[in-house]
Amino acid sequence: MIDVATLLSDLIKIDTTNPPGRERAAVELVASVLGDHGIESQTYAKDPDRPSLVARVTGEGDAPALLVQGHLDVVGVTDQRWAHDPFSGEVIDGWVWGRGALDMKGPIAMMVDALVRLSQGHPPAGDIILCLVPDEEDGGQFGAGYLVTEHPELFEGVHYALGEFGGFPFVFDDVPFSFIQISERVGVGFRVTFRGDPGHASMPVPGGAMGKLGRALVNLDKKHLPVHLTPPTRLMLEAMAPHVSAPTRLAIRGMLDSRTAGAAVAALRSRLGRMENLFRNTATPTIVSGGDKVNVIPAEVTLTLDGRMLPGLDAVTMRDELAELVGVDCDISFSTEHSRMPAEPDMGLFDLLASAVRKMDPGRVPIPYMSPAITDARWFSKLGISCYGFTPMRLPPDFAFEATVHGADERIPVSALRPGSTAYLDVFQRYGRSAGT
Q: What is the pTM of this model?
A: 0.93
Q: Quote the CA–CA distance of 373 and 206 in Å, as a whole number.
A: 38
Same domain, yes or no: 221 and 231: no
Whether 92 maps to a domain, the answer reads yes
Q: How many structural domains compose the chain?
A: 3
Same domain, yes or no: 57 and 167: yes
Same domain, yes or no: 213 and 354: no
Same domain, yes or no: 47 and 99: yes
Whether 313 maps to a domain, the answer reads no
Average pLDDT, the chain: 94
Whether 178 maps to a domain, the answer reads no
What is the residue range of 406's domain? 4-173+341-430
Task: Quick: pLDDT tens for 322-371.
Answer: 999 999 999 999 986 666 788 899 999 999 999 999 999 998 999 999 99
Instruction: Give pLDDT, residue 10.
Output: 98
Sign of CA dihedral 47, 14, 76, 95: positive
What are the CB-based long-range contacts (under 8 Å, 24+) for 402-409? Answer: 402/274, 404/102, 405/102, 405/103, 405/165, 406/75, 406/103, 407/80, 408/77, 408/80, 408/81, 408/82, 408/83, 408/86, 409/82, 409/83, 409/84, 409/97
* pLDDT range class, residue 268, cuts 50, 70, 90: confident
Contact between 431 and 352 under an 8 Å Cβ cutoff? The reply is yes
Same domain, yes or no: 392 and 425: yes
Q: Which of 18-32, 229-243, 256-270, 283-297 has the lowest mean pLDDT?
A: 256-270
Looking at per-residue pLDDT, the higher value among 171 and 420 belongs to 420
Identify residue 317 by its one-letter amino acid code: T
Task: Quick: pLDDT tens for 71-96.
Answer: 999 999 999 999 999 999 999 999 99
Task: Quick: pLDDT tens for 187-204.
Answer: 999 999 999 999 899 988
* pLDDT range class, residue 437, cuts 50, 70, 90: low
Same domain, yes or no: 94 and 217: no
Average pLDDT over residues 246-254: 93
Identify residue 209 by its one-letter amino acid code: A
* pLDDT range class, residue 270, cuts 50, 70, 90: confident
Whether 87 maps to a domain, the answer reads yes
Whether 315 maps to a domain, the answer reads no
Same domain, yes or no: 326 and 196: yes
Same domain, yes or no: 292 and 423: no
Same domain, yes or no: 23 and 102: yes
Whether 402 maps to a domain, the answer reads yes
Same domain, yes or no: 287 and 251: no
CATH code assigned at 202: 3.30.70.360
Instruction: Give pLDDT, residue 152.
Output: 98
Task: Quick: pLDDT tens for 145-176.
Answer: 999 999 999 999 999 999 998 888 888 899 99
CATH code assigned at 142: 3.40.630.10
Instruction: Give pLDDT, residue 391.
Output: 96
Same domain, yes or no: 247 and 388: no
Average pLDDT over residues 308-323: 94
Whether 183 maps to a domain, the answer reads no
Whether 262 maps to a domain, the answer reads yes
Same domain, yes or no: 17 and 141: yes
